[in-house]
């Protein structure tokens, strides 16, 4: 036979352990959820930034200097005119400064000797844009039409490893630039 005893007067009830545990688990769950959400957001933002650069290289090997005839050679991939006079080279962009069409070179009926930015230059061609009719002189100066400025001249150099001509399409130079190869 069992007897039931009441708690002594003034005694407090034991802490409600199940409730504390439930609160702890709930807070832990919310914390984990927040951490997961922040991680997910970070991963999403990171995915917007590419790991690789798709920029095209600006320096391009064009071939051995001997591959270029005296006069002018058009390189369609680089949209570039390379001019050679003996051992001296310069390169003029074929990209129209109006809206970027490829200009065409027209051979002059008679070679002109000019002085451009204080340096002599043999002019063998002039340039015309088929899109809106801009015309450029043999050194690329815009003469008529909507083209707002001259065709770009680009820096040429000789590759140290194999002696090829190299153009830097990010490096504009003045119209007095010449590369002389050995
Ligand atoms: S793109 Fe050359 S004149 Fe317009």
For residue 104, count CB atoms less than 10 angstroms from its CB and return exposed for 0-12, middle for 13-18, buried for 19 or more. Answer: middle
- Note whether 32 and 119 are same-domain residues: no
Stated pTM of the model: 0.70
* Among 146, 148, 152, residue to substitute to test ligand 1 (most atoms within 8 Å of Cβ): 146
- Residue-wise pLDDT for 82-111, tens only, equals 999 999 999 999 999 999 999 999 999 999
Domain count, the chain: 2
Pair 147, 117 in one domain:
yes
Are 67 and 133 in a shared domain? yes
- pLDDT score recorded for residue 118: 87
Query: Which domain does 31 fall in, by range?
Result: 18-50
Task: Give yes or no for a contact between 113 and 120, defined as CB atoms under 8 angstroms apart.
Answer: yes
Range name among 8-17, 55-64, 93-102, 160-169 with the lowest pLDDT average:
8-17
Same domain, yes or no: 27 and 73: no
Ligand 1 contact via 84 beta carbon (within 6 Å):
no
- Say if residue 25 is in the same domain as residue 106: no
Q: What is the pLDDT of residues 120-129, one digit of tens each?
A: 899 999 999 9
**Where is the domain boundary, 50, 68, 94?**
50
| Domain match, 30 and 75 both | no
Q: Is residue 132 part of a domain?
A: yes
CA of 101 from ligand 1 middle (Å) equals 6
Give the domain CATH number at 134. 2.102.10.10
Q: Which atom of ligand 1 is nearest to the CA of 96?
A: 2
Residues 109, 164, single domain; the answer is yes
Q: 168 and 93 in one domain?
A: yes
Atom of ligand 1 nearest to the CA of 101: 1
């Amino acid at each position: 036979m069992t007897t039931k005893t009441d708690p002594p007067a003034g005694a407090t009830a034991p802490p409600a352990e199940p409730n504390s545990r439930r609160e702890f688990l709930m807070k832990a769950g919310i914390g984990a959820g927040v951490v997961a959400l922040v991680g997910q957001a970070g991963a999403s933002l990171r995915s917007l930034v590419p790991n690789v650069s798709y920029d095209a290289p600006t320096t391009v090997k064009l071939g051995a200097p001997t591959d270029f005839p005296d006069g002018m050679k058009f390189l369609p991939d680089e949209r570039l005119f390379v001019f050679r006079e003996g051992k001296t080279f310069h390169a003029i962009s074929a990209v129209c400064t109006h809206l970027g069409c490829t200009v065409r070179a027209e051979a002059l009926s008679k070679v002109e000797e000019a002085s451009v930015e204080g340096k002599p230059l043999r002019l063998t061609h002039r340039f015309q844009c088929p899109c809106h009719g801009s015309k450029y002189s043999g050194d690329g100066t815009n003469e008529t039409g909507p083209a707002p400025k001259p065709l770009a001249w680009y820096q040429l150099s000789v590759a140290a490893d194999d002696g090829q001509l190299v153009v830097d399409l990010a490096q504009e130079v003045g119209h007095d630039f010449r590369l002389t190869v050995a």
